[in-house]
Homo-oligomer: A and B are copies of this chain.
Amino acid sequence: MVKAKTEPPAGASTSARSYHHGNLRRALLEAALELAQRHGPERVSVREAARLVGVSPGAPFRHFPNRRALMTALAEEAGERLRIEVRKSIGRGRGSPLQRLRALGRGYLHWAMRHPSHFKIVSARDQIDLDGSMALRNSIGEVRELTEQTLAEAQRQGEVDAVHGVAALALLSRATVYGLARMQHDGHLGQWGVGAGEEAAAMTGTLDLLIALMRRAPVS
């Protein structure tokens, strides 16, 4: 059952392709990511990806029904990486639940800043088919679950008051972090008083501010 190829399947080194490319699907995804990094996701073209891989313009359509499917597959990989990153980050938050939530948010923000192309792709609604991708929805879903679990724990420990529901607090957290990441990627931060070199600080600082507001004792 194992597809043992006679050719080395992985590879930065382009092996001698006779007719069939060893793993065209993979190669196309990498080429598309490369193009996304060069010119932005909206200017990824199937033809150019094919050219980059050294294959005819029609070949990609054996693996993806259309351009959108290619971009969606790319987004699925990005979403998976984001999910893993968030999972890892939450482990770094030692101590209280709110500290873990902070770590989660920082992980999200840092990932979005360090991998702008990937972040652009996951959030490029008009380029991908979110509704048709269970994988992508699952990645988002897990981030949500982690957020809610952490907030529930914070409430249980009295770090956050229980006046407001977990779902509402989670939505607020997510909206803030998502909004920050998108503001950066949309170039809005400069208009909001954030200098060129201080974007990371501003973003994490804003996250910290939200968490500080959450931490306070309930109004009585």
Contacts and interface: CB of A to CB of B under 8 A. Distances in A.
Interface of A: 40-42, 123-127, 130-131, 137, 140-141, 144, 164, 167-172, 174-180, 182-183, 185-188, 191-194, 202, 205-206, 209-210, 212-217, 219
A4 to B, nearest CB: 36
For the complex formed by this chain, how many copies does it contain in all? 2
A137 B191 contact: yes
A82 to B, nearest CB: 13
The DSSP consensus for interface residues of chain A is helix
B206 A144 contact: no
Contact of A214 (B167, B188, B213): B213
Nearest to A194: B171
- Among A186, A194, A219, which residue has the most Cβ atoms of chain B within 10 A? A186
A7 B150 CA distance: 64
A171 B40 CA distance: 26
The 8 A-B pairs at the shortest CB distance, nearest first, are namely: A179-B179, A175-B179, A213-B213, A42-B126, A178-B179, A125-B186, A175-B180, A140-B191
Given A167-B193, A169-B209, A213-B214, A179 B187 contact: no
Given A176-B172, A178-B183, A188 B140 contact: yes
